[in-house]
Structure 1
Amino acid sequence: MAFLNQIRLSLLRPSKCIWRVALVIVLLLPPAWLAASPLAGALKDAQLRGTSTFRYLGLPIYDAKLFTPRGGPFSWNEDFGLQLTYRKSLKQKALVQSTLDEIERQGNKAPSQTQLEQCFQAVSKGDSYLAISEGPNQVDFWRNGNKTCALSSLGIKRAFMSIFLGDDTRSANFTRQLKGQ
């Protein structure tokens, strides 16, 4: 019986070789947030550039992350990804209307309400939207990892993304942090 107990204990103790192999595997894997995200396939060499929390009247609304190629400085001339993770629940109508209002406030041509309704559904605390530009005239959207739509029109990248990254955002501090400045 003592012999069986020794065998069981030795089976439970991993060898140093197993630990080394496990460490190499972990080091070779991409970060979990990148591997599970459409970002890895849609934006070459995507790396986190900056993060920020958008607040309204002091209350946190969403956390934002900007992904650029190799984590380099933000540039309108390159494709990039923007992820918003909501800290509170919002209705679809509020998301669509605030998007339209902000695009128009900045003097940009907005997509139609119908187009935005196809892209944006209501969000609950913890839900994420990821927007990835494909050149100056297309932005693809994912909600919690599932593609919801692609907006295609002349200058849509700048028109939409200026809400968060433009020169006339609602919070200059938020934009600076997001850009990693």
Structure 2
Amino acid sequence: MFRIFIALILIAGPAFARERVQIAGLADPVVIGEASLGVIGITAYDARLYTPNGAPFDWASPMALELDYKRGFSAQDLLRGTETEIRRIEGDTNDIPTVISLLSTCFYAVEDGDSYIAVGNSSDQIDLWRNGTQTCTVTYPDIRKRFLSIWLSDDSRFTSLSRKLRGL
């Protein structure tokens, strides 16, 4: 009986994740890459990148990034980390305070088991969802690439994670 239960969980897990991403607004989501971020043996989160019908990664196309947290972070930690990484990737562009201000309403504290999904159906908009509830919509020029570059750019802090997520 226990083996049947485990088998059902293993089968239902990916379907449930796909459903969450579909509810968040990405049509026909299929995982094209996944990776875990861990530092010194401590996993921070598992990440999956979805595209419609499993299309190859392309900055010009819709996508969704799902992060399943394995440890807790405060909302301030998430926002501060976002700002740090955008500045590191882009340099000190004049509009970073505006971008961070727009993102400031998106983040809530996370604990082990919580998830965030960032859906970018267009280059100028992202929708963030925490545990199945939408936390914000940010509309700003090129916001999809600017935000998701933290995980998906060749200039990401963790290039191996970035390449795995992009299916490379």
> Do the aligned residues in 2 keep the contact of 1:60 with 1:87 (CA within 8 Å)?
yes
Aligned to 1:73: 56
Take 2:147 and 2:61, find their aligned partners in 1: how far apart are those partners? 15
Matched, 1:153 2:153: no
Taking the TM superposition and a 5 Å limit, the aligned residue runs for 1:21-100 are 31-35=15-19, 37-40=20-23, 42-100=25-83
Q: What residue ranges of structure 2 are gaps of 5+ in the alignment?
A: 1-13
Q: Which amino acid aligns with 1:120?
A: F
CA distance in 1, matches of 2:100, 2:166: 28
Bigger radius of gyration, 1 or 2?
1
Unmatched runs of 5 consecutive residues or more in structure 1? 1-29
Deviation at 1:59, TM superposition (A): 2.1
Identity %: 34
Determine if contact 1:39/1:81 at 8 Å carries over to the other structure. no
Q: Deviation string for 1:19-71 (max 9, x for gaps)?
A: xxxxxxxxxxx933323x14246112211111001123442111100001111
Partner of 1:8: none
Q: Which has the higher contact order (CA 8 A, sep 6+)?
A: 2
* Alpha carbons 1:69, 1:80 under 8 Å: kept: yes
Runs in 1 of length 4+ with deviation above 3 angstroms?
108-114
Letter in 2 for 1:88: R
Q: Which moved more, 1:48-57 or 1:60-69?
A: 48-57
- TM-score calculated relative to the size of structure 1: 0.77
How many residue pairs get aligned? The number is 151
**Judging changes above 3 Å, is the alpha-carbon distance between structure 1 residues 118 and 179 closer, same or farther for their aligned structure 2 residues?**
same
SS of the residue corresponding to residue 159 of structure 1 reads helix
Give the RMSD, CA atoms, in angstroms.
1.8
TM-score (normalizing by structure 2): 0.83
